[in-house]
Amino acid sequence: MKGVLDGLKVIDASQGAVGPWAGSLLGQMGADVIKLEAPGGDFIRAVMPEKRGLSTTYISMNSNKRGVILDLKQPGDRAQVHELARQADVLIENFRPGVADRIGIGYAELSRLNPRLIYASASGFGPRGPMVALGATDPHVQAFSGSCSVNGEPGGLRQRWRWYGHFDCNTAIHIVQSVLAALFERERTGKGQPLEITMLESAFDLQRVRMAEHLAGSTPTPLGSATTYLVPDQAFATQDRPVAVSVTSPRQWRAFCRAIGQPELADDPRFARNPDRVRNRQALIPILERAFKARPLQYWLEQLKKVHVPCAMFTSFDEYRWNVHYLDNGMLRMHDTVWGKLCLCDPPWDFSLTPAFVKPAAQPGEHTQEIVSGHWPAPSDSPERKPA
């Protein structure tokens, strides 16, 4: 299959999740992506759990790539990387600031070899300031960026997102956006350029609404599952399992009140408009909690869907991987790989003429010989890939 980025050559020299997921997304759109690792390998290989000897995190973060292992400490291998950089359109790295220059793949050196190179550098805290020398991880950026200040139960300890990688993957999306924009600019000028993307600034982007609230004089505080700006918009306990409910418009508010059997709430001056409900949250939520507790989850899903009020059950992976909605839309697919059957998410975009696609990750270093000896042949020119 030829994707929208067919013919684009990308060197992914990053580790962990931030850079690798960006490389994977470019690969899903058709770019030819090399996963470049040192002999010691990407540190994420050691993250549990494993699938037949390789970290499942590594496998999931490195789809749609060919694996190359070269030792930048060795002059011969470094020369090979320089040759690959001459042919590349994009290079992604997430070393601490200064490390890429020290090991011979900094922008100044590679741009002399290839002035058209788009060089994307991702870091946790940026190139200056007292935090520069620190390695960044997703949970530490969550804490330092202020995100945790609005998470958790009222009056309780601040909480991080439980899913490790949320801020990593958000930063990866920013890398992809900046790379695509720089490629567009290169079409006009013929020149590449260095890009700097930080986890911290990407984390700020996730918090634009919270920052605006703060600057408007309404400092957000932890509200459990609820949001600061919309009521009701949270989880409610039912007789058996919780339900997530959002009421986003005056029409939905009236329909919601009818569905829970309390139509009189719709015109109650304390709750008639969303600003009223936000101000009187403490009076309204206990009323709604009692109503939801009286019936089981399935009852509420059926009643709220009838009147077009957004609602959902909380699902686990084992539940939604077989959900007919996901399967009907092709959002999840099973793949046969060297690690056995893997259930992978389809790309988040659908191009009608040049479809995006997911290919399972390669074994680390699997394509070193064919890439180095063949001067980066296209995948169609490469020998059939065999399990390592």
The full set of domains in the chain, from first to last, is 9-206+324-381 (3.40.50.10540), 243-313 (no CATH)
Interatomic CA distance for residues 73 and 309, integer angstroms: 60
- What is the DSSP-derived secondary structure letter of residue 382? S
Q: What is the pLDDT of residues 295-334, one digit of tens each?
A: 999 999 999 999 999 999 998 888 888 888 888 888 888 8
pLDDT in the model for residue 315: 87
Among residues 12, 168, 268, 350, the one annotated as catalytic is 168
pLDDT in the model for residue 384: 37
Interatomic CA distance for residues 213 and 224, integer angstroms: 18
pLDDT in the model for residue 89: 98
pLDDT in the model for residue 381: 53
Could you list the pLDDT tens digit for every one of the 388 residues in the chain?
A: 689 999 999 999 999 999 999 999 999 999 999 999 999 989 888 888 888 888 888 988 999 999 999 999 999 999 999 999 999 999 999 998 888 999 999 999 999 999 999 999 999 888 888 887 777 888 878 888 878 788 888 877 776 666 667 889 899 999 999 999 999 999 999 999 999 999 889 988 888 888 888 888 887 888 888 988 899 999 999 999 999 999 999 999 999 999 999 999 999 999 999 999 999 999 999 999 999 999 999 999 999 999 999 999 998 888 888 888 888 888 888 888 877 788 888 898 889 899 999 998 999 999 999 999 987 988 865 433 333 3
Any catalytic annotation for residue 318?
A: no
Interatomic CA distance for residues 339 and 38, integer angstroms: 22
Interatomic CA distance for residues 221 and 310, integer angstroms: 24
Residue 284's CB is within 10 A of a number of other CB atoms, namely: 19
Interatomic CA distance for residues 216 and 359, integer angstroms: 46
SS percent in the chain: helix, strand, coil, step 5: 40, 15, 45
Burial label, 52 (beta-carbon count in 10 A; 0-12, 13-18, 19+): exposed
pLDDT in the model for residue 387: 35
pTM of the predicted protein model: 0.87
| Contact (CB, 8 A) for 88 and 9 | yes
pLDDT in the model for residue 53: 83
Q: What is the pLDDT of residues 152-169, one digit of tens each?
A: 888 777 766 666 678 898
Peptide bond into 275 cis (omega under 30): no
pLDDT in the model for residue 160: 66
Closest CA to 95 of 139, 133, 145: 133
Q: What is the pLDDT of residues 28-72, one digit of tens each?
A: 999 999 999 999 989 888 888 888 888 888 988 999 999 999 999
pLDDT in the model for residue 221: 83
pLDDT in the model for residue 239: 97
